[in-house]
Amino acid sequence: MSYNNLKIKGIKMRMVPLLSAISSRPTKIMFALVAAVGLSACAVINPPKPLPLPVAPKAPVTTLKDAGLAHPQTVWVPAFYTGGRDSLLFINGKRYRAPNGAGNVVGFIPTPTGYSVAVENVPSPAEITNSYGMPVGRIQRGARLEVFSVTETGKTLRELGSLRLRRATQVFQTKSAFYIQDLSGRVREGALGNQAQGVAPLFSYYGLNAEGHRVSGPTNVLFATPAPNGGWIEHILIGSNPITGIQYRILVVKDGQVLRSTAKGSTPFRAQPIFFHSLSAFVDLPPVVDSERTGMTLVAVHYYNPMSQGNVIVTNFGSVNPEYPAVGQPGQSIQMVPGQAIAFALREALFGTPGAPVIVRQMSNGVGPVYVGYKSMYHITKSTYHQTWTPVFPLVSGAASFAGILTGANAGGQEVVNAKVDAFTLLTPKGAVLINADGNQIGAGYALYAKAQIPSLDMQQFAAQYGLMP
């Protein structure tokens, strides 16, 4: 059963969530209506199996010290977690800034003498988004990516290298370098009659390593991301036409050798998958991109329907193995345009290993309460996983969840679509820690590896020190 399709007394009802109601909250009258509807329908609706109860509220208590959060050497926080425009790096509790004052730290790599720290230096920062609504490098004349040699105490020794920032859509870090995903071209669909042409972007990858030297990655590809083995996963263009759309292959490449190649696939011009990387805060760990750590990325796919005339826009999204076609992999759908869906999906986080990746996300059985927790995935085949669900924090009660169905606040199994983030995900050498951020306030934490909760006052202290803003 899903939010969008209910069968009551043999009649199939279609409930389409309204985008205009995303931020709405049910009134007391609506709760009364929900109670009445729920009582009248309980005899004819067979609810799905309920999820387990959230584990955090009854877990034993631990401390910031035991969780490794009391006095960390480094803390890196993505801008999405701060409510601001800069990603932050703290060394020994003090925020790092470049000698010229630039503070948007895109990553850092530990070195024998300290760290190589990569900073986006923009003269007058201003937020810019691309055509999908995703935040991109704040491109202005004179903007540069700069790498500095920094001591273990946070003192800048010297600049190691820099390069000019162009129209980058993502900047990410591997274990040994900092890469820019640069828009390097476009493939246009030949028009048929009076139809509008479709466009597919092409990307090139380049950056700086820990020594500040220029490094190059794949060029003029549909998408590429670092592989767990140190190579690259490349979605390459091999042709296009107005009938079949974009034709592609997926390669796994290392040291110039193709280790694996998929069969030729195709997607329509107007339904190109949009790949993006998940976000987490990293404590005493460098913020290495999720595909290298877990073998997974996030993706949003809008299946273009020329007959819909824009009445219903549904985007599928979720975690995928980029070594295989994205179409068919995403397990969630949301009635939003791709840009909105990506902003919603950025609340999710990936961690674990390539053999057993884990994703943090909202979860519900479709009619009952909504939780935030984690989904553990274990390989059955290379692109198929066995999944187990563990709710951690409660978000919304069953009554409020069903009210959301009637008001349009629910979309494809996702209830709190108007919140920026449900839980902050901290990745530490010991394992992941989740911080409850529901209701625009910092709540308790939960150390997954210890199965223990951290009191909310302790988590509020940590969040205030390192700039986490719900």
In this prediction, residue 398 has a pLDDT band, given cuts at 50, 70 and 90, of very low
Q: What average pLDDT does the segment 430-455 reach?
A: 95
d(CA 253, CA 418): 40
- The beta strands (E) that lie in 68-219 are given as 74-77, 88-91, 94-95, 104-111, 114-121, 128-129, 135-136, 144-151, 156-164, 168-173, 177-188, 199-209, 214-216
Q: What is the model's pLDDT at position 419? A: 58
Most confident of 45-54, 77-86, 248-257: 248-257
In this prediction, residue 310 has a pLDDT band, given cuts at 50, 70 and 90, of low
Model confidence pTM above 0.75: yes
Find out whether 293 and 277 touch, Cβ atoms under 8 Å.
no
Find out whether 113 and 151 touch, Cβ atoms under 8 Å.
yes
Find out whether 362 and 416 touch, Cβ atoms under 8 Å.
yes
DSSP class per residue in 21-70 = GTT----HHHHHHHHHHHHHHTTT--PPPPPPPPSSTTSPB--TTTTT-S
Find out whether 402 and 415 touch, Cβ atoms under 8 Å.
no
d(CA 293, CA 319): 14
CB atoms under 10 Å from CB of 159, counted, come to 15
Select from 245, 384, 220 the least CA-distant residue to 303: 245
Q: What is the model's pLDDT at position 245? A: 87
Plot region of 458 (φ>0 → left; ψ -120 to 50 → alpha; else → beta): alpha
For residue 373, the surrounding DSSP H or E stretch is strand 370-381
d(CA 265, CA 354): 24
Alpha-carbon Rg for the chain in angstroms: 23
d(CA 319, CA 278): 9
d(CA 296, CA 85): 26
In this prediction, residue 16 has a pLDDT band, given cuts at 50, 70 and 90, of very low
Strands 128-129 and 114-121: unpaired
Whether residue 135 has pLDDT greater than 60:
no
Most confident of 14-23, 310-319, 427-436: 427-436
Whether residue 37 has pLDDT greater than 90:
no
pLDDT digits (tens, 9 = 90+) for 300-309: 888 766 555 5
Q: What is the model's pLDDT at position 67? A: 96
Whether residue 257 has pLDDT greater than 90:
yes
Whether residue 35 has pLDDT greater than 70:
no
